[in-house]
Amino acid sequence: MKKTPLYEKHVALNAKIIDFGGWAMPVQYTNVIDEHRTTRSAAGLFDICHMGEIEVKGPQALDLLQLVLTRNLADQATGQVKLSALLNEEGGVIDDLTVYKMDENSYLLVTNATPRERDWQWIKAIRDAEKFDCDLKDISDNTGKLDLQGPRSEEILQKLTEADLKTMRFYHFCKSHVAGFPAIISRSGYTGEDGFEIYAESNVIGEIWDKVMAAGVPLGMKPAGLGARDTLRLEGGMMLNGQDMDESVSPLEVPYSWIVDAHKEFIGSAALRAKQNSGIRKKLVGLEMTGRGIARHGYKVFFKTQEIGVVTSGTFSPTLNKAIGLAFINIDFSAPDTQIEVAIRDTMAMAKIVKLPFYKRSK
């Protein structure tokens, strides 16, 4: 298994380590519920070094990204982050990634951990085939990433940076320093809370981790593992690539229509139009268990006796104190409040369809 630069720190903290797509990652330090609630009430610090980073630079960087990504980036300002999707020719989701506009003709793509090599090969192949004048560089191995999430994140991080965090808007970033080291600070995340994603050279990310721990722990922050990251993102109604969607799924079938720009041509756009015209048949929806039990990935979903779909993510929600999940179901049954059943082992448990997200922070 591959290890992040922070692996030894997790071991020293007695974290339980799991294999996450070939990476030895901390799933929890104490327990998931505690780390989850601490992130909602104070702050959580996550090792996200396993995610990928690709630089795209050159006169035709934007042209390449406009062709491979679903989102229109023409109006993106320097210092702004945009979530977008990378599709195959059939309109299936290869990855959902964030685009950082570093400067004119200079972008940083932040990919999920598992499809990172696939993304790289795909984008490179298209750059080569179309002969776009831009350089691509996979800087994943030299780049460390920490997510500091939760209502006290700004207060904690401000102790370690000269950047004025108070004025930084959500989904915006700046190049600055953290604990004296050059870093990109982005106000964004994957928890449904306020917070920051911090990027720095992988050889200094350990020292940054230590400094953030020293500044954050007295304010109630704790290190948090992938277990809490998963329950936090699910409450926030966010999908997990490879679990809730894959290359057989189009962004129109999941809550991602908003990152697809119908007014531009990109790889997969023709397939999406064809899909739209022939009618979308299934949809990813939120569900809440009203009966006993927890819906889990792979459990079947029924309406009366008819099988209508399958659960893609499911857990116990530490904030709402009930079982929640995401499920791919036949679109005819996808209206909120529809009573459904989930087959849990040998029993049918009652559930209902609900609007996403399950949790929204108070501003």
* Site of interaction with another protein (CB under 8 A): 27-28, 31-34, 36, 227, 230-231, 292-294, 296, 315-316, 318, 323, 344-345
Nearer to another protein, 16 or 124 (CB): 16
Is 132:63 a contact under the CB 8 Å cutoff?
yes
In whole angstroms, the minimum distance from the beta carbon of 123 to another protein comes to 33
Pick from 32, 73, 65: which is nearest to 235 by CA?
32
In whole angstroms, the minimum distance from the beta carbon of 323 to another protein comes to 7
Pick from 142, 143, 158, 146: which is nearest to 198 by CA?
146
Nearer to another protein, 227 or 309 (CB): 227
Spatial distance between the Cα atoms of 338 and 333, rounded to a whole number of angstroms: 7
Spatial distance between the Cα atoms of 66 and 164, rounded to a whole number of angstroms: 31
In whole angstroms, the minimum distance from the beta carbon of 345 to another protein comes to 7
Nearer to another protein, 14 or 306 (CB): 14
Nearer to another protein, 13 or 102 (CB): 13
In whole angstroms, the minimum distance from the beta carbon of 235 to another protein comes to 12
Nearer to another protein, 28 or 98 (CB): 28
For residue 272, give the H/E element and its range.
helix 269-278
In whole angstroms, the minimum distance from the beta carbon of 32 to another protein comes to 4
Nearer to another protein, 100 or 299 (CB): 299
Q: Which residue type sits at 238?
A: M
Q: Which residue type sits at 308?
A: I
In whole angstroms, the minimum distance from the beta carbon of 152 to another protein comes to 23
Spatial distance between the Cα atoms of 59 and 28, rounded to a whole number of angstroms: 44
In whole angstroms, the minimum distance from the beta carbon of 198 to another protein comes to 26
Is 80:99 a contact under the CB 8 Å cutoff?
no
Nearest 10 degrees: CA dihedral of 41, 45, 47, 51?
A: 60
Spatial distance between the Cα atoms of 239 and 313, rounded to a whole number of angstroms: 9
Nearer to another protein, 280 or 320 (CB): 320
Q: Which residue type sits at 303?
A: F
